[in-house]
Chain A
Amino acid sequence: MLWYTGKRLLQTIPVFFGATFLIYFMVFSLPGDPIAALFGDHPPAPAVIDQIRAEYNLDKPFIVQYFLYVGGLLTGDLGTTFSGRPVIDVMVKAFPITFRLAMLALAFEAIAGILVGLISGLRKGKWFDSSALVVSLLLISVPTFVIGFVFQLVFGIQLGWARTTVSGDAPWGELVLPAIVLATTSFAYIVRLTRASVADNLNADFVRTATAKGLSRRRVVTVHVLRNSLVPVVTFLGVDVGSLMVGAIVTEGIFNINGVGGTLYRAINLGEGPTVVSFVAVMVIIFMLANLLVDLLYAALDPRIRYAK
């Protein structure tokens, strides 16, 4: 187990360098001169643009730029944004906010999704199950930004239960509404996954055996059915951690949250290499760690799974 974890952690190193290289190359290949575009319709003197370009090493060939970036990285310098702020400052502000948002969303979709899915699966074909199916279908088919704007209008503007936009520090309380919006699609998938899995397992041999042994219904459901039904759900949640961290661009835009998605979107538009690469690199690591965690959780959920050396 320890060996396995160590090996997986070591694998992150080449993936990290490969990912940063590729992404740096992609940002470098974006068409147009990012510095000239900063000034819109009012270009300063060409000599000024040249000087700024040199300041950000944009006048050098790609490979030199990349090694300058990696060199800085090893000394803890992630470069600066075009506004002259150290990228590390931007990250330190953005990541905790998005992390809080993603955790709230994850908690919501996991708890509510598994609960609704479990009840649906146990009462397959009854009215609760049918309405859960219809609602989840609806949530899957409606795009996030529609749900976001509707929730903002209803809960923020009309009812006044929540703030229309999130304030600068993004406290937990203000993030609840955006988190629910962010979680809706995944919530619907988890309901469906759990439901199908539970319904399947209810007819499995080991459940019949457990029931025949005279175990209480409660014990059969929680220990035998639910636990075994969670394997696909946990896989989904693990992958979702990554997409929740990255994929919040729309939700962050609607609620004016200064998180990872919005910052990354701006940086890509500006062609700000160091910011894009640093952000994506951290996200790659988050993805890999989340996947590792999921793989380790399998063993806990299903004792038949063991990790070989």
Chain B
Amino acid sequence: MKIKRIGTVAIALASVGALTLTGCASGGGDAPAESGDASAIITTNGNEPQNPLITTNTTEVGGGKITTSIYAGLVSYTADGEIENDVADSIESEDGQHWTVKLKDGWKFTNDEPVTAESFVDAWTYGALFSNAQSTSYFFDNIEGYDGAADSELTGLKVVDDLTFTVDLVAPEADWPLRLGYTAYMPWPKVAFEDIEAYGENPIGNGPYMLAEEGAWEHDVKISLIANPDYDGVRKPVNGGLDIKFFATQDAAYADIQGGNLDVLDGVPDSAFATYEDEFGDRAVNQPAAIFQAFNMPYYLEHWSGDEGKLRRAAISMAINRDEITEVIFEGTRTPATDFTSPVIDGYSDSLEGADVLEYNPEEAKKLWAEADAISPYTGTFDIAYNADGGHQAWVDAVCNSIVNTLGIQAVGKAYPTFAAALDDREQQKLTGATRAGWQADYPSLYNFLAPLYQTGAGSNYEGYSSEEFDNLLKEGSVAPTVEDATAKYQEAQEVLLKDLPTIPLWYSNVNGVSADTVDNVVFGWDSVPLYYQITKE
């Protein structure tokens, strides 16, 4: 233990030296870190990654937190979800479909191999190949040559020279670079392809941090990262490293930060919602995250499609008192929804046309419900399916009560024992009523909140929504020449959703984090993960 710590300090000191040197060489562009011990190790919470740390096979939070720390992609995200070039020198396109990517010179992996165009192209090709069965393979489906059902060559990726490659997309996509900070798009060194499983145990990256040593990932316990002295991108760490401890429950993690065994915690357990802000004061964070919560009414059910369905959807939406439920059930740790995306996403708007359907309005709700009854009288019980293993019962009951009190119909929650069981009935379209639905963005883009969920035939569009108008607006948005034009189209597309209500938006989950008084500069990113590289520790 002692020896390890000395080693860490030595490496961290070396990293300070490197930073100072580059600072001098470039004429001192960056202000030096104002305070904090540059060798200090920040301890924080995490979860055991579901898979070996292979970037094209990491879609969950536990692994993603680690891969974004140890890799640097073409771009990285700021706290507000905007992109900054990291490895990329430029990402350019005339038409939004044919892209040329130029890399900065001098980058290398922590095994001293240079980061080249091939490092990116090879990793992406691996991720997209059908027989590799990578969970992020669909992120490459807009690249020429992708085939989701058989092995095929990604003909759209071409290496021009060591530092340049071109990407041909199937269709234009103005905001394509927005994706590139996502973990699926990271570069790999050659050694990765020799034995991918072994590489996933001890990944070699090019990011702000690197594994402290071979075997730094202790399964179910923690992973130790130290600052990468060679990293010279936009996320230079001002601390010496990260110890990410894995917790089975958030309660245990919260007890640890109360007991002084943890510096930063990015999730507060339900049991502490009422007290954590008093206890941690200005060291507590409560801000919206890129997580959208809603419930869906299947179109294959009687009463919920066509004109009648439209009226009923609006009536149900206006029958829910979102402000009261977020305040009473969630102690203000949710923010009532005003659209279908999230306030942390560029292009979010709280004043879309028709957004008043998301406000509590019992009179209007009763009126619309009566109009629908005139078309075809409603009988039976309205139910909302949820998985009992996810802590949803309280709000489902509250929403049901809100509907009962407003519309005078019977409404109950329908519990499935596990997420798997609920998903099964959704996939097979066997629901008897509404279902809980949620979405967490992979990358900060409006498109990522809309296309996978509501496009006709999209992967997660289980409840069968289909609107030509919406599909066309999405398509127009993705070929729009500028990001602003694209945003305008996506907002228009959401206005279509507000009329049709394929889903009833409820609220955005907040990120609820706390930090101990040992650390400063704790800022949470758009993806609810703290920007670890900025954190200073005395």
Whether, in the assembled complex, B334 has its beta carbon less than 8 Å from a beta carbon of chain A, the answer is no
B138 touches A256 (CB 8 A): no
Mark each residue of chain B from 450 to 473: 1 if its CB lies under 8 Å from any CB of chain A, else 0: 001000000110000000000000
A229-241 CB mask vs B (1 if < 8 Å, else 0) is: 0000000000000
Contacts of B148 in A (CB 8 A): 45, 47
| Closest partner residue, chain B, to A268 (CB atom) | B418
A93 contacts B460, C-beta separation under 8 Å: no
- Interface check B137, CB cutoff 8 A: yes
Neighbour of A44 across the interface among B49, B137, B218, B423, CB < 8 A: B137
Say which residue of A34, A42, A52, A85 sits within 8 Å of B59 (CB atoms): A42
Inside 8 A of B376's CB, which chain A residues have their CB? none
Give the chain B neighbours of A253 by CB distance below 8 A. Answer: 248-249, 251-252
The reply to whether the CB of B375 lies closer than 8 angstroms to some CB of chain A is no
Complex Cα gap A55–B103 (Å) = 38
User: In the complex, what residue of chain A is closest to B200 when comparing beta carbons?
Assistant: A84
Q: Flag if A52 contacts B60 (CB, 8 Å).
A: no
What residues of chain B lie closer than 8 Å to A168, measured between beta carbons?
Answer: 218, 220-222
- Chain A residues near B51 (CB-CB < 8 A): 83-84
Interface residue stretch chosen among A71-79, A156-164, A183-191: A156-164
Partner of A165, one of B49, B149, B261, B460: B261
Given the interface contacts A164-B256, A165-B261, does A41 sit within 8 Å of B137 by beta carbon? Answer: no
Max chain A Cβ within 10 angstroms of own Cβ: one of B141, B418, B440: B418
Q: How far is the CA of A41 from the CA of B256 in the complex (A)?
A: 30
Least Cβ–Cβ distance between A145 and chain B, in angstroms? 10
State whether A157 touches B259 (Cβ < 8 A). yes
CB distance from B293 to the nearest CB of A (A): 10
**CA of A254 to CA of B248, assembled, Å:** 9
Q: Across the interface, do B137 and A256 meet the contact criterion of CB distance under 8 Å? A: no
Question: Measured between C-beta atoms, what is the minimum distance from A259 to chain B in Å?
Answer: 10
CA distance A254 to B247 in the complex (A): 10
Q: Which of B13-21, B88-96, B126-134, B485-493 contacts A (4 or more CB under 8 A)?
A: B126-134
- Nearest CB of chain B from residue A235's CB, rounded to whole Å: 33
B382 within 8 A of A: no
Interface pair A34/B420, CB less than 8 Å apart: yes
**Are B137 and A45 within 8 A (Cβ)?**
yes
Segment at the interface with B among A2-10, A25-33, A130-138: A25-33
Residue A39 is within 8 A (CB to CB) of chain B in the complex: yes
- Return the contact of B130 from the options A47, A55, A163, A254 (Cβ within 8 A): A47
Q: Which of A33, A85, A152 contacts B423 (CB 8 A)?
A: A33
When chains A and B are docked, how far (Å) is the Cα of A274 from the Cα of B249?
A: 24
Is the pair B442, A42 in contact by a Cβ cutoff of 8 Å? Answer: yes
Contacts A40-B419, A164-B258 given: A82-B50 contact, CB under 8 Å?
A: yes
Least CB distance from B71 to A in Å reads 19
Report B174 CB to chain A, min CB distance, Å: 23
Most chain A beta-carbon contacts within 10 A, residue among B59, B247, B439? B59
Given A32-B420, A269-B418: A164 in contact with B460 (beta carbons within 8 A): no
What residues of chain B lie closer than 8 Å to A31, measured between beta carbons? Answer: 416-418, 420-421, 424
State whether A156 touches B255 (Cβ < 8 A).
yes
CB closest chain-B residue, reference A156: B259
Interface residues on A, range: 35 or more
The answer to whether residues A39 and B149 also contact, given A33-B420, A156-B255 and a CB cut-off of 8 A, is no
B100 interfacial contact with A, CB 8 Å: no
Place the interface of chain B in its size category: 35 or more
Complex Cα–Cα for A82 and B525 (A): 30
**Which A residues touch B49, using CB under 8 A?**
83
Q: Cβ of B141: which chain A residues have Cβ within 8 Å of it?
A: 45
CB–CB A44/B138 < 8 A: yes
What's the nearest-Cβ distance from chain B to residue A221, in Å? 43
Docked CA distance A32–B387 (Å): 11
Q: Write the chain A residue with the least CB distance to B389.
A: A269
Flag whether A115 is at the interface (Cβ < 8 A).
no
Task: Say yes or no for B219: interface residue by CB 8 A criterion.
Answer: yes
Q: In the complex, what's the smallest C-beta–C-beta distance from A207 to chain B, in angstroms?
A: 49
Known contacts: A32-B421, A165-B261. The answer to whether A256 contacts B438 by CB under 8 A is no
> A222 near B: Cβ within 8 Å?
no
Instruction: Report the bound CA distance from A153 to B424 in whole Å.
Output: 41
| B8-49 Cβ-contact flags toward A at 8 Å (1 or 0) | 000000000000000000000000000000000000000011
Residue of A nearest to B255 (CB): A164
Q: Which residues of the other chain, A, contact B136 by a CB distance below 8 angstroms?
A: 44
Closest-CB distance, B337 to chain A (whole angstroms): 16
Does residue A113 face the partner (Cβ distance < 8 Å to B)?
no
Asked if A256 meets B52 with Cβ closer than 8 Å, knowing A40-B60, A164-B261, A168-B218, the reply is no
Interface centre among B134, B255, B427, B459 (most CB of A within 10 A): B255
Q: How far is the CA of A160 from the CA of B255 in the complex (A)?
A: 12
Q: Is residue A294 within 8 Å, beta carbon to beta carbon, of the partner chain? A: no
Chain A residues 22 to 64 lying within 8 A of chain B, measured CB to CB, are: 30-34, 36-45, 47-48, 51-52, 55
Find chain B residues with CB under 8 A from A37 CB. 418-420, 423
Please give, as numbers and ranges, the residues of chain B lying within 8 Å of A255 by CB-CB distance. Answer: 252
A256 to B221, CA, bound (A): 9
Task: Determine whether B197 belongs to the interface, using a CB cutoff of 8 Å to chain A.
Answer: yes
Q: How far is the CB of B463 from chain A (nearest CB, A)?
A: 13
Of the residues B130, B134, B248, B439, contact of A256 by C-beta under 8 Å: B248
Contact with A along B286-305 (1 / 0, CB 8 A): 00000000000000000000
A83-B50, A156-B259, A157-B259 given. 19 additional CB < 8 A pairs?
A: A30-B418, A32-B421, A32-B424, A33-B424, A40-B419, A42-B59, A44-B135, A47-B148, A149-B251, A164-B261, A165-B256, A168-B218, A252-B248, A253-B251, A254-B251, A256-B248, A256-B252, A256-B256, A269-B389
Query: What is A's interface to B at a CB cutoff of 8 Å?
Result: 30-34, 36-45, 47-48, 51-52, 55, 82-85, 89-90, 93, 149, 152-153, 156-157, 160, 163-165, 167-169, 252-256, 258, 262-263, 266, 269, 271
Can you list 27 residue pairs at the A/B interface with Cβ under 8 Å?
A: A30-B418, A30-B420, A31-B418, A32-B422, A32-B423, A32-B424, A36-B424, A41-B438, A42-B452, A43-B460, A44-B137, A48-B134, A51-B133, A83-B50, A89-B219, A93-B219, A152-B255, A164-B258, A165-B256, A165-B261, A168-B221, A169-B221, A252-B248, A254-B249, A254-B255, A256-B252, A269-B389
Q: Which residues of B contact A (CB under 8 A)?
A: 48-52, 59-60, 130-131, 133-138, 141, 148-149, 197, 218-222, 247-249, 251-253, 255-256, 258-261, 389, 416-424, 427, 437-440, 442, 452, 459-460
For the complex of A and B, 9 pairs with smallest distance between CB atoms: A32-B420, A168-B221, A164-B259, A37-B420, A31-B421, A256-B252, A51-B133, A32-B421, A32-B424
